[in-house]
Amino acid sequence: MQDYATVTADAALENDVRLLVRLAIAEDLAGAIDWTTVCMIDDDVDGGCQITPRGDGICAGLAILPWIIDEFDADLQSEVFLRDGEPLVPGKPIAKLRGNVRDLLTSERTILNLLSRTCGVATLVRQYVDAIEGSSAHVYDTRKTTLGWRLLEKYAVACGGGRNHRRGLYDGFLIKDNHLQLGGNDGVPMPASEAARKAIQWRGGQVEHLTAPSMVEIEVDSLDQLRDVLPTGPDIVLIDNFSLEDIRSAVQMRNQINTAVELEVSGNVKLDTIVEIAKTGVERISSGALTHQATWLDLGFDWFDTRDKTES
């Protein structure tokens, strides 16, 4: 079964990170300077710090550290001790920065803001993934992401062991109830089966110079709609806000009518509900909570003396 592309530390992510860092620089400096640092620290002072987690979690975002440093045009060298996706140990440094102290101080908050957020998302996602380990289901994110952070938060989801749903409206057909309501004639909603067939006919086709995506997913809100749409053969049917009993019935219906279609559950997906959902036999469970409910992981700069002790 095909799937949506996984976000990696590629050129697209780099572009988004650089845009975010430029915005952060504009917020902090507004075309001026870091007055406190320039006042207190001579411009030729070198130093070092370690980025250290204050609690357990999952590492996410170290791959973007060089891009942050570069956008600050900072005279800094970085060394990382973990790979994204690996567990964090409280008090054990994940990276080391050395160089100009003015640059370290000016970039400190931006570095910590970005990494604390990505590590926080990855940490929450890992809890969801671990909760359903051994089931047939996989955990997926949604488009409920922070504006401008879409790829970075989806990258963090992947670091946590989750899977990425579509990146945007350009990335696949996802027919929802509003499309059905507004896609019909004379105020009569379009039947789900007709909508699915229409999208299937469009996939891979051309609109001007653009090629339509290949993934077709349709949302249903009743077992009757599911029964109507399964024979048309979409890649995925999204069953939204179904009760556990209806999810089990949906899986049984799918197994009888069209086993090639995967089922995705959304709505009321939380850590205390996902285990029972996974037991129903669905393949996909998506939750906006992975991103909009994630809290930041506490990271700090631990400073150390870089001077050569043998000099004196």
β-pairing, 46-53 vs 95-100, is antiparallel
Strands (E), the chain: 46-53, 57-58, 76-80, 87-88, 95-100, 138-140, 173-175, 206-207, 210-211, 216-220, 236-240, 262-266, 284-286, 299-304
Token pair of 251 as six digits: 């899986």
Beta strand 173-175 with 216-220: parallel, antiparallel or unpaired? Answer: parallel
263: closest CA among 274, 276, 252?
Answer: 252
The count of residues in the chain is 312
- 């955990």: which residue's tokens? 139
What is the residue whose two structure tokens read 């506490």? 298
Active site residues: 109, 144, 176, 219, 240
Which spans in 258-294 are helix H? 274-278, 289-292
